[in-house]
Structure 1
């Protein structure tokens, strides 16, 4: 019973991500939440996994689900502003440690390991998820009902290097850039 209470405590605390708003707008014009972004990233990865049978599908989906746990307490830093925040990594690490400490030790260690793998970006799975994370953000930027002064051109360079090592990701990036170009010209 105590073990299950710890799982519930973690899930209750992770609920914060439903209220953690990102700068991106949905197609209806409201700000999306970090939870919504993580869900759609996981769905995108799941849909594309058949194209990359060499990847560990479970690990990919796990990374999608936990990659933004670190935003639970201090929120999201917009893609445009991420370069300016030196404390982001430490803040997110602290949040992940705080959240996973609620879990039974083994479960907490497993989720931290998945998050660490994503952060380190050394495995093919982590690099794939990192690229798809950038792709989902660009998709949302292009799909969203954004303010009139939205800087679509930002998308053209955002995370571009993450798409270089994989032919499918390069093709995906070309499609996203074409959509961005159309939005820039509007």
Structure 2
């Protein structure tokens, strides 16, 4: 039996694979999205994913029965593939644009250096998120849309930014859970306030 404070050394090839993956995932820090921060600079995918995780953490008490660790893992993994091919702005997405297939292929490329068990785990998380069939994946998808909409409402976006886009964006995903539906009311109100400026 090993002591948690003194685990056995990790195998060198396992360690190297994990570090290679982490270094490749770092590209999310430079992967820019179409929205801007409240300070006016382009937001990165890493920043979006961070605030998405913070967002679900803030609602932990309202999500009794939800596997919070699973939910946070889904939020962390959901956009990792963008480290390879970048972000497709929400305003440019369509159901038949091949985005999901491209992002899954990018995830496979990104995860290629990982040990088999971790590669399977991370791909299973991405597939769960994409399928949006489990309670946690439904929430992750809904919160993902809400975080994007909140960023649009607070960001110093370009002059021709279409704030009305928010009002129809992600309705299917946010309608699937009572909490995301309730939050949506406030987000829509923030969008209307922004449009009135």
Q: Into which bin does the TM-score normalised by the smaller protein fall? A: over 0.9
Residues 123 and 99 from structure 1, CA distance in 2 versus in 1: closer, same or farther, beyond 3 angstroms? Answer: same
TM-score (norm 2): 0.91
**Cα distance in 2 for residues equivalent to 1:84 and 1:75:** 18
**Aligned equivalent of 1:74:** 85
**Aligned equivalent of 1:35:** 46
72, 76, 87: which one aligns with 2:98: 87
Displacement of 1:166 in angstroms is 2.4
Aligned 8 A contact 2:25 2:80 in 1: yes
Residue deviations 1:50-80 (CA, integer Å, cap 9, x gap): 2111111111000000000111111100000
Classify the secondary structure of the residue corresponding to 1:22: strand
**Cα distance in 2 for residues equivalent to 1:127 and 1:60:** 9
Residues 85 and 165 from structure 1, CA distance in 2 versus in 1: closer, same or farther, beyond 3 angstroms? Answer: closer
Question: Structure 2: which 5+ residue stretches go unaligned?
Answer: 1-11
Aligned 8 A contact 2:78 2:126 in 1: yes
Whose radius of gyration is greater, 1 or 2?
Answer: 2
Residue deviations 1:108-154 (CA, integer Å, cap 9, x gap): 10010001000000011101000000000001000101112111110
2:17 corresponds to 1:6: yes
Residues 95 and 165 from structure 1, CA distance in 2 versus in 1: closer, same or farther, beyond 3 angstroms? Answer: closer
| Aligned residue pair count | 186
**Cα distance in 2 for residues equivalent to 1:84 and 1:110:** 26
Residue deviations 1:17-69 (CA, integer Å, cap 9, x gap): 11110001001101011111001101101111221111111110000000001
**Cα distance in 2 for residues equivalent to 1:86 and 1:152:** 22
When the two chains are superposed, the root-mean-square deviation of aligned CA atoms in Å is 1.1
Instruction: Decide which structure has greater helix share.
Output: 1
2:116 corresponds to 1:116: no
**Cα distance in 2 for residues equivalent to 1:15 and 1:166:** 32
Misfit runs of 4+, over 3 Å: none
TM-score (norm 1): 0.96
**Cα distance in 1 for residues equivalent to 2:26 and 2:102:** 18
**Aligned equivalent of 1:54:** 65
